[in-house]
A = this chain, B = another copy of it.
Amino acid sequence: MKDNILSGKEISAAVKEKLKLKTENLKKQGINPGLAVIIVGEDPASKVYVNNKKKTAESLGIYSEIYELPENTEQSELLKLVEALNKRDDINGILCQLPLPKHLNEKEVINKIDKNKDVDAFHPENVGKIMLGEPLFLPCTPAGVMEMLKYKNINIQGKHCVVVGRSNIVGKPMAMLLLKENGTVTVCHSKTENLKKICKSADILVAAVGRPLFITKDMVKKGAVVIDVGINRLKDGKLCGDVDFEKVCKKAEYITPVPGGVGVMTVTMLMQNTLKAAELQFNEKINEKKLKEAPKAKIKTEIKAKTESAKKAIKKAVTSAAKKQKTEAEKIKAKAKALASTKEKIKDKAKDKAKDKEKEKVEEIKTENQTESKNENS
């Protein structure tokens, strides 16, 4: 293999090693990641993709369930399945393989998937978070591209990154991830004037057009990094990307092949999202439990506080009552004392009066005796 090839197989193997370890660690904590994949109808490419997802999940120790629904499935049935999966604790990630048969409403199905189980990151709120630079889940294909760039330490900051294709699944989120890493990002598409010139100015060129051999040698700057997201099937049955690989690989500093390039990474990133979802939901449940118990704890604390304050109030009341009683008793004592003293005084007065009366009587008797003796003497 040429040494400028960014091999999805090699890089995804390295990422998968880490994910396998992470899964084991999660399981040790009692977290068993689970992924549900829904496929409606018989599209052969979709079947291959779904099969890959199942195999990859198994290889990492992630539990997976595949729901193969018939082509004529009704919208309401599909929505009911999503609702049921939303409610299940053992399913952390849900994805519905697109495209759905034409009679079904994809948007409604995507919006129905629990935002925290939306491992494809297709729900509008998750898309919004990607644009705001705070992704809950990384969009799988663009995240796979970022892993490839990171793996080879390719500098993004300040570099001109040109994304050809503006799909909601690849082009736009790819632009946002490159922008978050401080790339200067240009998004081109079918209406772009001077496409060749713009592509040629790219330090990092991402092709996500869906047209075989669309990016030719003359559109690539020497030394550019070329990422090929396209997967096209040629008439002879062979798969090829959007880039004229054979010729472009001679100019590019790095280039991804098709197959064996970005596609392999996409599935790996889906697994990473599933593990993140499992962790997230586990932590959420712990928080919910805490929140549920929080009011109980709060009530307990409140009761304790109230009991304490009641105790204090009682103590205070008792003390104050005792004090009051004491004062009252002292008052009574004082009154009694005062009363006793008054009695004494009255007694004394009575004694004095009696003494006075006695004195008076003595005086009277003295006077009488004197008068008698006077009369006797006169």
Contacts and interface: CB of A to CB of B under 8 A. Distances in A.
Given A166-B179, A184-B192, A129 B128 contact: yes
Contacts of A127: 127-129, 131-132
A186 B189 contact: no
A187 interface: yes
Contacts of A159: 193
A125, A130, A184: residue with the most chain B Cβ atoms closer than 10 Å: A184
Give how many copies assemble into the complex: 2
A47 interface: no
A24 B126 CA distance: 37
Interface string A92-126: 00000000000000000000000000000001111
Contacts of A124: 125, 128-129, 132
Nearest to A159: B193
Contacts of A182: 189, 191
B186 A185 contact: yes
A198 interface: yes
B172 A198 contact: no
A377 B176 CA distance: 155
Nearest to A193: B158
A128 B193 CA distance: 27
Given A184-B189, A193-B158, A128 B133 contact: no
A186 to B, nearest CB: 4
A309 to B, nearest CB: 25
Interface string A166-188: 10100010011001001011111
**Interface range on chain A: under 10, 10 to 19, 20 to 34, or 35 or more?**
20 to 34
A194 interface: yes
Contacts of A189: 179, 182, 184
A217 interface: no
Contact of A186 (B123, B172, B184, B193): B184
A193 B161 CA distance: 11
A157 interface: yes
A160 interface: yes
A185 B184 contact: no
A133 B168 contact: yes
Given A125-B128, A158-B191, A160-B193, A184 B198 contact: yes
Interface string A120-149: 000111111111110000000000000000
Given A127-B127, A128-B129, A184-B192, 15 more contacts: A123-B128, A125-B125, A126-B128, A127-B129, A130-B131, A131-B168, A157-B191, A158-B192, A158-B193, A160-B193, A182-B191, A184-B187, A184-B188, A184-B189, A186-B186
9 contacts: A127-B127, A131-B168, A131-B172, A133-B168, A160-B198, A179-B189, A184-B189, A185-B186, A186-B186
